[in-house]
Amino acid sequence: MRLEIDAKAATLDFASPTAVKSINDWVSAATAGKIPTILDQIRDDEVMFLINAIYFKGSWRAKFDPALTIDAPFHGIGGDQPTKLMHRDGTMRYLQTPTFAAVDLPYGNSAYSMSVVLPNVGQSVDTVLTSLQADTWATWTSQFRDASLDLYLPRLELTWGRMLIPDLQALGMRAPFQAGAADFSRMSPVGDQLYISTVKQKTYVKVNEEGTEAAAVTNVGMTLTSAPLRTELRVDRPYVFMIRERLSGTVLFLGAIRRMP
């Protein structure tokens, strides 16, 4: 089991031709090479970057047998796609609600786990995501019970990237993105002249018979103003997954798989 959450403070001459490489080298090292870059260039008006990285690698407590992995269609958004469905059966932590079915798959010593949430037929991943409030999720995780399960889970490897300012503004966070509207003076002597011009996130997730490897980097750029019966759970349509720390309930990664990458 390996979990690393990394950040450090450093000065860097942004005018140096090696500045972008220095930042990207740190990102690559912090994510075991899974996210090799976060920056393409540094603009003249950018004076600060806040970058954090998280890297997770864990082996399933009960691994999938590669010999049991099958070829099958994934009924995703936009039509069927070929995929590899891993398979194992046995006793697993399981939850069935009127909206979804879920299984909780622990890693290693069970300190961390992946929860896979499959919406019931007629439900959507958006319905599930909307209902994933902290209090309701805490209730659901307390309701997982041992069940005899026949599980089919997609083998998965994906990368994802997005500029997040529109999402943060939609959530009501507006002042930090407007010149002169926020005060960052506790971060910089010219903090009253700074605003956030970039929020960029990159994510990598790999799920296979051995376990899961996942990494994420977020960059914030600052700009100076200028059951007794066996149940089958076949995850072959859009679903939600989360990697979480079981004791605190902290969610490290959350994703909605609508189609195979």
In sequence order, what DSSP letters do the residues of the chain get, joined into one string?
-EEEEE-------TTSTTHHHHHHHHHHHHTTTSS--S-S---TTEEEEEEEEEEEEEEBSSPPPGGG-EEEEEEETTEEEEEEEEEEEEEEEEEE-SSEEEEEEEETTTTEEEEEEEEPTT--HHHHHHH--HHHHHHHHTT-EEEEEEEEEE-EEEEEEEE-HHHHHHTT--GGGSTTTS--TTT-TTGGGEEEEEEEEEEEEEE-SSEEEEEEEEEEEEEE----S-EEEE--S-EEEEEEETTT--EEEEEEESS--
CA distance 135 to 223: 37
Instruction: Give the model's pLDDT for residue 5.
Output: 64
Side chain identity, residue 141: T
Q: Are 188 and 196 in contact (CB under 8 A)?
A: no
pTM of the model: 0.82
- Residues (pLDDT < 50) of the chain are 227-228
Instruction: Give the model's pLDDT for residue 222.
Output: 76
Instruction: Give the model's pLDDT for residue 21.
Output: 93
Domains within the chain, CATH numbers bracketed = 2-55+158-224 (3.30.497.10), 59-156+227-257 (2.30.39.10)
Query: What are 92-134's pLDDT values in tens digits?
Result: 999 999 999 999 999 998 899 999 999 999 899 998 888 887 7
Instruction: Give the model's pLDDT for residue 106.
Output: 95
Alpha carbon distances (Å) from 13 to 19, 22, 45? 7, 10, 13
Instruction: Give the model's pLDDT for residue 250.
Output: 86
Instruction: Give the model's pLDDT for residue 227.
Output: 44
Tokens of residue 1, six digits: 């089991």
CA distance 252 to 77: 25
Tokens of residue 97, six digits: 């609600």
Closest CA to 204 of 30, 63, 26, 69: 30
